Amino acid sequence: MIEIHHLNNSRSQRILWLREELGQPYKVVPDQRDATTRLAPPELKKVHPLGKSPVIVDDGRVVAETGAIIEYLVRKYDDGKPAPPVDPDSADYRAWLHWMHFVEGSAMLPLMLKLYVGRLGDAGKPLWPRIDSELKNHFDYMEGALGGNDYFVANRFSAADIHISFILDAGAARGPLSAYPRLTALHERLKARPAYKRAIEKGGPYELGR
């Protein structure tokens, strides 16, 4: 059975959710952030040298990085729903590939900067305009790309939406999500999914910005 090392209030919530969508069994190995540093416990380094979550163990195989874990699980356990077939000539597959890399490759950086620079107080003020500009750039792009569709790839729910959900969560906690009605509607639509709710029940309370 797959073991998911799940850190509270972290990216790993998406991996629990994906397994629920796939309808596949898994074991949650809970980890708690340090109350002061908010970092993962050092024990995670015994699983993977980076000591970060999420990380999974599948029949002895260790897979780290959220996007890589999603891709691995979808391709190994896909029932035809969470992702389009691998086909570089397909517009749907190219869209899937783009959004899977966009999350951590582009969108996450300004959100992380907002979190850490915000902790500097007045010392960080010179950077705020640039950070806010980049946040607006990315959220404008997502809002426009979604357009009148319900989901990002082929207008049907996919694991790319699960991946993107962390950006929406972070945008709701410390970013500009409320200014984007289409993204806000998607955010609520995703949180209403039964598999999402089951993952919260198994993973425990989930609140970013803490």
Edge to edge, what strands does the sheet with 61-64 contain?
26-31, 2-7, 55-58, 61-64
CATH top class, domain 2-83+195-203: alpha beta
pLDDT of residue 193: 97
Interstrand relation of 26-31 and 2-7 (parallel, antiparallel or unpaired): parallel
pLDDT at 13: 93
Give the Cα separation of 11 and 167 in Å (integer): 10
pLDDT at 175: 78
Could you tell me which residues come within 8 angstroms of residue 88 by beta carbon, excluding any fewer than 6 positions away? 94
One-letter amino acid at 105 equals G
Which pLDDT does position 209 carry in this prediction? 55
User: Which pLDDT score is estimated for 31?
Assistant: 84
Kindly state the DSSP code that residue 154 receives in the 8-state scheme.
Answer: T
Domains in the chain: boundaries: 2-83+195-203, 91-194
User: Under CATH, to which class is 91-194 assigned?
Assistant: mainly alpha
Predicted TM-score of the model (pTM): 0.93
Kindly list the averaged pLDDT for each block of 10 residues, start to end, along the chain of length 210: 89 94 92 77 88 93 96 86 92 97 96 90 94 96 97 96 96 91 98 96 78
Which among 1, 20, 28 is positioned nearest to 79, based on CA atoms? Answer: 20
Quote the DSSP letter at residue 54: -
- Residue 145: the pLDDT is 98
Nearest to 96 by CA among 25, 173, 158, 38: 158
d(CA 210, CA 147): 31
